[in-house]
Structures are given as C-alpha cells and as structure tokens.
Amino acid sequence: MSAPNVSSTFPDAIGDRLAGSVTTVGDRDPLWVRTPFTKDTLGAVPACQPADVDEAVANARDVQASWADRPIEDRAAVLQRFADSVLANRSELLDIVQLEAGKSRFDAHVEVLDVVLTADYYARTGPTHLAPTRKSAGVPLLTKAVEHYDPVGVVGLIEPWNYPLTLAISDMLPALLAGNAAVLKPAEATPFCALRAVELLEEAGVPEGLVQVVTGYGDTVGERLVASVDFLTFTGSTATGRAVAATAGEHLVDTSLELGGKNPALVFADADLGDAVRGLVHGSFANAGQLCIAFERIFVERSVYDEFLTRFVDATESLALGADLSFDYDVGSLIAEHQLETVETHVADARERGATVHTGGRRRADVGPLCYEPTVLTDVPDDASVAREETFGPVVTIAPFDDPDAAVERANATDYGLHASVWTDDRARGEAVARRIEAGSVSVNDAYLSMWASTDAPMGGVGDSGIGRRHARHGIEKYTHAQTVTTQRVHPLVPVDALPNDVAAAAATWGVRALRRLRRLDPFERG
C-alpha cells in the first residue's frame, strides 16, 4: 500500500520515528493516522493482530517481576523523573496532542499538566497507600493481622482518542507504581501521544519492555487483550464498555470502566452569574465538547434564566474557533467525520422538534474540515436525541426550572451518572443539592477542573457511566491484590483438648461478649 501525502506540519517526522518502535510478530498492514485539522496524514502505525497482543503480554510479564522487586520508593522516583521530563518536553507533547486529537492548545495543555500532577501525586502518596497496614485482629493482644498489597501482574489499558495523553498515561502511572507491567491499546486515531509518552517513561527509568503498546483496531485486538491480562482499564462509550465487561467476566478479569455521560448543571438564582457563565461555557465546550465530564444539559432558575441565557450566548459567540498549533483559539476540531455526523444529526433532530438555536448549529469547513460551531439550544423536547443521548460535541441545551426538587429530578432523569455541577451563593445548599444528584462527582461553583485536579479524591461514574474509580487510594489499590497475614502469638484458635465442646462453646461466647465490650470502648484497637 502506498503512503498518502504526509503533512509537513508534524514536528520532526515524529510520527514515522515512533511508529517504528511498535514491535510486531510479522509484517502488518499500516494504519494511517490523520490530523483532524486538515485530514492530512501524519504517519502510520502497524495494524496489530491478536498474535501481537500475545507477544506483548508475554514480554511484559517477563519484565514485571524484577520491576515489582524494586523498592516502591525507587519506582516513585521514576515517576517524579517522568513528571520532570513531561514538563521539559511540553511543547513537543502539545504539538502531538493537537495534531492527533484536533483540540485547542489550551485543552492540550490541560492534558500535559494532568499527567504531571498525577505522576507527582502517586509518587508522593503511593508508598503510603500501599504500605502494609495493621488491622483489627480477631483476638486482641493474641493475634496480629496485617494487610499487604501485591501487584496483579499485567494491566491492560484500552484508551480513547479524546484525551490521548491523559487517559493513556495517567491511568497507567499508579499501575506501574504498584509494581505492574502494562499493555496499552491506544485509540486508532491517536497512537503517537502514547508512543512518545512511553519513550519518556523509559528515559525516566521504567525498564524497557515493561510497558508495551499494541496499535491497531479495537475489534481486532481488543478482545484478546481483555482476555490476556490480569486487570483491564477501559475508557470509552457505554456500548463498548458493556462488551468489554462481558469478555472480562468470561475470563474473571477485574475491570475499571469509565463510560459515557449526559452531565447536568444547576444554576440557582443566587449564583454569581458571571462565574456560572464563564465556568459553564468552558465546561460545555472544552475539547469541542468531546469530554466525558462536559456539560450537555444546563437547568437555570427561572427568575435569572433570561439573563443567564443572554450572557451565556454572548460568551459562547465570543469563543474563537480554530485549527492550528497556537494558543489563539478556544475551541478546536472534532476528531472525525462520524463524530461530526452525530453532532449534526442531534442538532437537526432538535430543530425538527421545535428547538431554538441561539448560536452555532453549523459546520465550519472554512475553519477546518471537521469544525463545528459551539451551539446553544433551548426549547428542546424531552424526546429529542440531544436531550437523551450523549452528543459528545460542542452542543449544550439550556432550560428553566421553578422548583429545586424538580430540577434535581430532571438532572437525575438519565441512565448516566458521571459528573454534575451546582451553582449557588449558598455553599451549604450547594453541597446539600450535590448530595442528591446521582453522579460519581459533583462540583459546587465550578465546572469540573477543581474536581479533576483533586487527585486525592476518587473520580468515576454510576449507572451507565461505569464502574470503578481513578485517582486517590482507589486509583492505585485497584491494581493490587490484598493479602492478609495473621500471626497467632500464643496458641492456635482451636478448642482446648481438655475441655468438652459445650464448655469450649460457652467460653468462646463469653469471649465474644467481652470482645464486643472492649471494641465499643476502643473501636480502633489493633491486635
């Protein structure tokens, strides 16, 4: 197959160089990678086959044991060196993220900083999270109980195109710190972000071969990867997540799945409307809306609805739409034609059902072949596609509410439950309302960045938005097996030979009663 015209804008021909770092069993057809900015080809990677997955997993296993034997403090130091390297190579990484994913440079910058913060967080806290922990023993003073955390072995990661650096690497870092190897399957559209990041990991001290990258099509290699690893992390659509979970269940592979969202925001009359507009415009249109925690539904208390809508539309119209490598633009391109078609279909369906388009609502081929204007809709009926289904594009619906309880009910009227936002001057009320929203995370007086940056707090979904959590202790413990070691200090806990069974049972009952009284006095006692 002859190569298409390759874009001269790809810095230092890094696409061709990195593609050569993918190890395959034999000759493989090329998978051409194109930039959404122009649809020019950036380079090619091998379209791997199931046999390549088998080899990648085997190679990772060969390296994993020696990595796990290194003190966790040494592994943490590697993560800190990696964070330093990401910052030092920031400009190059921004170029790759933008060219592959089509996003604005600021949105790409958020990815780079996320990787640095995640690496730093787990390097600092991981050794404490995974330290052997004394537990309340069965018989205080006589029994010692300790919980240990061991790596699961080889972790598989199937990651999407919308945040190709963050989701490929930030999910992997705690797995590596815990002593695991990793096999990463990046999205077909964005493999070069992952390949460059793995290079930086190895330069920072991760042993060669510990992290394997399998490029290619999900329907070719995905099932084999799920079946071959010891833990699987997946980020993507709910439909694909169900298929991944079914395969994992057949092979008893534990999983963490972050799936879709139809995220709501509630704006109360006492909110600072300037803050709410700024926050929600960014929260709705970051990465052209191709963000699992972006807002697609905004509900505003009726007394301030008109003012909020006017200010929101004005702020949306002031966003700069563009497709290049500068910081001059706020909103970039959609990733591919299929994503653009979904956006156009949802907006057209809403129009046919009587919705009002206040701004946007059209493709902007003059800016870029896959660019679409940030779009604000009102008067959207509940049966419209854009009201029910995840759009995953630069489209947001806004509606008024009169009763706060009804607003919470509308926010919860979805099978998804990933993220939400509440805006009010009464922070206590905001937190109380947040607790009533059925979502894995809720931000009060912020869109999502404060939540995402809180790496010591878990993040994930409920319902059709997935299972499992990233960040915090949850984000590293999931990559381990817990082992309990109990040590008996005097004699084993078996009936005393000299006592009849009924007497031994009575003595044990007395002991349990005494133990309950002791634990009520000191519930945190340790044996």
Two tokens, residue 370: 């896959």
Respond yes or no: is residue 48 known to be catalytic.
no
- SS3 sequence of 485-518: EEEECCCCCCCCCCCCHHHHHHHHHHHHHHHHHH
Quick one: CA dihedral 173, 174, 175, 177, positive or negative? positive
**CA distance readout (Å), 99 to 34, 71, 164, 330:** 8, 38, 11, 15
DSSP of 68-126: HHS-HHHHHHHHHHHHHHHHHTHHHHHHHHHHHH---HHHHHHHHHHHHHHHHHHHHHH
Q: Distance (Å, rounded) from C-alpha 283 to C-alpha 81? A: 32
Cα within 13 Å of Cα(470), Cβ side: 29
**CA distance readout (Å), 434 to 250, 424, 427, 429, 439:** 37, 11, 10, 8, 9
Q: Distance (Å, rounded) from C-alpha 52 to C-alpha 384? A: 43
Two tokens, residue 458: 């878990």
Alpha helices in 152-215 (DSSP H): 172-177, 191-204
Host H or E run for residue 222? helix 218-228
Respond yes or no: is residue 258 known to be catalytic.
yes
User: Is 379 buried (19+), middle (13-18) or exposed (0-12) by CB count in 10 A?
Assistant: middle
Residue 424, Ramachandran bin (φ over 0: left; ψ between -120 and 50: alpha; else beta): beta
370 with 335: CB under 8 angstroms? Answer: yes
Q: Distance (Å, rounded) from C-alpha 38 to C-alpha 339? A: 16
Host H or E run for residue 473? none
User: CA dihedral defined by 48, 9, 330, 434, rounded to 10 degrees?
Assistant: 20
Quick one: CA dihedral 65, 71, 72, 77, positive or negative? negative
Residue tagged active-site, from 48, 193, 292, 371: 292
155 with 233: CB under 8 angstroms? Answer: yes
Residue tagged active-site, from 258, 296, 373, 390: 258
SS3 427: helix
Two tokens, residue 384: 């419209």
Estimate to the nearest angstrom the gap between the alpha carbon of 10 and the chain centroid.
Answer: 27
The residue to which tokens 């592994």 are assigned:
75
Q: Which residues are catalytic?
A: 258, 292
